[in-house]
Chain A
Amino acid sequence: RKEVEQDPGPFNVPEGATVAFNCTYSNSASQSFFWYRQDCRKEPKLLMSVYSSGNEDGRFTAQLNRASQYISLLIRDSKLSDSATYLCVVTGGSYIPTFGRGTSLIVHP
């Protein structure tokens, strides 16, 4: 079982839709959790960190469920510019990040 798993998608949604991605991780000792965004052929960039209490940044909400070992990303009111691949990243006790394979989102008019 891969340490960090994501549904590769693609998730194909209309503008204005709400879409949610999940990411599961296998190491219960994992310490830090992140969502990154990657545009085609570009470098990944941090979208948001994920905290136990959940956190929100505008249209984006991230949540962590330690008991079930998953994190989620909710995007409300999707924009065309949200089209990208979303990478889940989990850092364990060794502080080495492990990346999921990414979930592709396509927002269409």
Chain B
Amino acid sequence: DADVTQTPRNRITKTGKRIMLECSQTKGHDRMYWYRQDPGLGLRLIYYSFDVKDINKGEISDGYSVSRQAQAKFSLSLESAIPNQTALYFCATSDFGGAQGDTQYFGPGTRLTVL
């Protein structure tokens, strides 16, 4: 089974709809991240969480919110989706201080299209 899972894998929605993307991990890592990837722009950090009680904005948090329900779960919400939020979204975890240091482990991604 995959260590980091994301649901849904693909989603098409309409402008103005509320969307939630979910991420679960079985790696036991405290740190979780949400990124979006756009062609030519690389991966950009939306939000990150270093533990259940810690939530931080990343480079491009406007229009997004997150919830860290448990160590293993980190959800990303688009309160009112707009077309320029069409992108590939990745969740990642890391185990700071572990043997692999800051290595990021990614989920398979969610392809979101906002019409």
Residues in B with CB closer than 8 Å to A46 are 100, 103-105
Residues in A with CB closer than 8 Å to B96 are 95
Residues in A with CB closer than 8 Å to B58 are 96
CB distance from B51 to the nearest CB of A (A): 13
Q: Could you tell me how many residues of chain A have their Cβ less than 8 Å away from some Cβ of chain B? A: 23
A44-B43, A87-B42, A102-B42 as given contacts; A97 in contact with B107, CB under 8 Å: no
Asked whether A91 is an interface residue with its Cβ less than 8 Å from the other chain, the reply is: yes
Which of B41, B48, B90, B106 is the one whose CB lies under 8 Å from A96? B48
A42-B109, A44-B104, A95-B102 as given contacts; A101 in contact with B41, CB under 8 Å: yes
CA distance A45 to B90 in the complex (A): 12
Residues in A with CB closer than 8 Å to B114 are none
Binding site for B on A (CB under 8 A): 8, 31-32, 34, 36, 41-46, 49, 87, 89, 91, 95-102
